[in-house]
Structure 1
Amino acid sequence: MRPRIAPLDLSSDLDRLARLYSAVFAEPPWNAGPDEMADFMRRLPTEARAGAGGFGAWSTDELIGFAYAVPTPTPFPAGRAYDRVAQVTDVDRLVGCWEVMELAVDPAQRGRGVASALLDALLDEYSPAWLLTATDAPAVQFYDRRSDFRRTGQGEGLVVYASTYPAASGV
């Protein structure tokens, strides 16, 4: 049974998002611990107020995946992974695009099309977009197979992708 994909209220679904984030990103290569979890919980309300939008994948009433994006501001941000992104790609082409901040699927639900459905919904609403992932993340193979994303940079332990949807002609 395919999950129901629906808009996600980043402000009111914090507990569900936190549980799923913890389950997904505690695994290698991220190995997120309490500090990363606290950072996620601090960032989410701020990102929601900054215009973030996203979608959840639901199996009955259980959140089994989520994806959300935020507008990339001018100037391009610094700190976190942004400094490394700036080392491997032309960030001027990313400013004004949507940054896919998270794409997370319950490990027990992987391989069932949940990530594809979430990313399709996200790109239909928030495009052009870009994202980054760790070079050793299983998601690299997923993004490399998609025809709507292309690598725009790699190095510093990460891979940067940008959408190639028609709206992304400048990306």
Structure 2
Amino acid sequence: MAIAYARHTSLTSASVEALADLYAVVYAEPPYEEGPNEVAGFRDGLPEQAEREGFTLHTAHQGDVLTGAAYGWTMPAGAWWRNADRNPPTDLHAADKLAVMEWIVHPRFRRRGVGAELMRRLLDGRPEPVATLAANPESAARGMYERAGWMQVAKSTLPWGTPMDVLVLRLSADSLDG
């Protein structure tokens, strides 16, 4: 059965539950090893994230099964990751940025292009000239980001978790020139 993709700009209670279920499977794996408390925090935070300016969610389904998702929202000019150890270069800091908050694919559907297609759909056509995300330096995704051209500009340390690499990707070559 083929994978179907969809774009969403809001969430329903059913989509929140499906996303939380997928999150639970993905983040139970090393190096994350998250449990019920982290999943509940993710679930509880989703509605607020969906209210942010520029929120966009792309999902992948096989039949009725959610196989992957990627979402983000606009981080406005002058804003940056709260716990980052430094600001990005001035031109990036002064621009609106797409904050990629999650990019998750069910383990059974990895290495089939689902993740790459979700990220392509999330990044394509965005009005922001740059995207940013925080990645666990021990995760497999971290290497994929680097190979795709994402560059580390900072570290972010949360009191309850692993220090994360803060990465940026310019989405258009000329959009920060003037």
8 Å contact kept, 1:132–1:159:
yes
User: Any idea what the Cα deviations from partners look like across 1:76-114, whole Å, max 9, x if unmatched?
Assistant: 367xxx31xx20552863562110000000011111111
8 Å contact kept, 1:10–1:44:
no
Name the one with the larger helix percent: 1
Aligned length: 165
Tell me the SS of whatever aligns to 2:48.
helix
8 Å contact kept, 1:89–1:160:
no
Alignment match, 1:160: 166
8 Å contact kept, 1:56–1:63:
yes
> Whole-Å Cα distance in 2 between the matches of residues 10 and 143 of structure 1?
26
Give how far 1:164 is off: 2.0
> Whole-Å Cα distance in 1 between the matches of residues 40 and 80 of structure 2?
20
Relative to 1, partners in 2 of residues 1:65 and 1:72: Cα closer, same or farther, differing over 3 Å? same
> Rg bigger for which structure?
2
Q: Which amino acid aligns with 1:87?
A: D
Alignment match, 1:16: 18
User: Please, which of 36, 45, 65 is the counterpart of residue 43 of structure 1?
Assistant: 45
> Whole-Å Cα distance in 2 between the matches of residues 136 and 28 of structure 1?
9
Tell me the SS of whatever aligns to 2:29.
coil
Q: Which runs of 5+ in 1 are unaligned?
A: none
User: Any idea what the Cα deviations from partners look like across 1:125-156, whole Å, max 9, x if unmatched?
Assistant: 43421111111011011111114x33323575
> Whole-Å Cα distance in 1 between the matches of residues 58 and 18 of structure 2?
13
> Whole-Å Cα distance in 2 between the matches of residues 121 and 150 of structure 1?
20
User: Please, which of 132, 135, 138 is the counterpart of residue 134 of structure 2?
Assistant: 132
TM-score (normalised: structure 1): 0.83
The percentage of aligned residue pairs carrying the same residue is: 29
**Stretch of structure 1 that moved more, 127-136 or 104-113:** 127-136
Q: How does 1:110-121 map to 2 (within 5 A)?
A: 110-121=110-121
Q: Which runs of 5+ in 2 are unaligned?
A: 158-162
> Whole-Å Cα distance in 2 between the matches of residues 145 and 10 of structure 1?
31
Alignment match, 2:99: 99
Give how far 1:73 is off: 4.0
> Whole-Å Cα distance in 2 between the matches of residues 170 and 36 of structure 1?
37
8 Å contact kept, 2:18–2:66:
yes
> Whole-Å Cα distance in 1 between the matches of residues 21 and 104 of structure 2?
11
**Stretch of structure 1 that moved more, 120-129 or 22-31:** 120-129
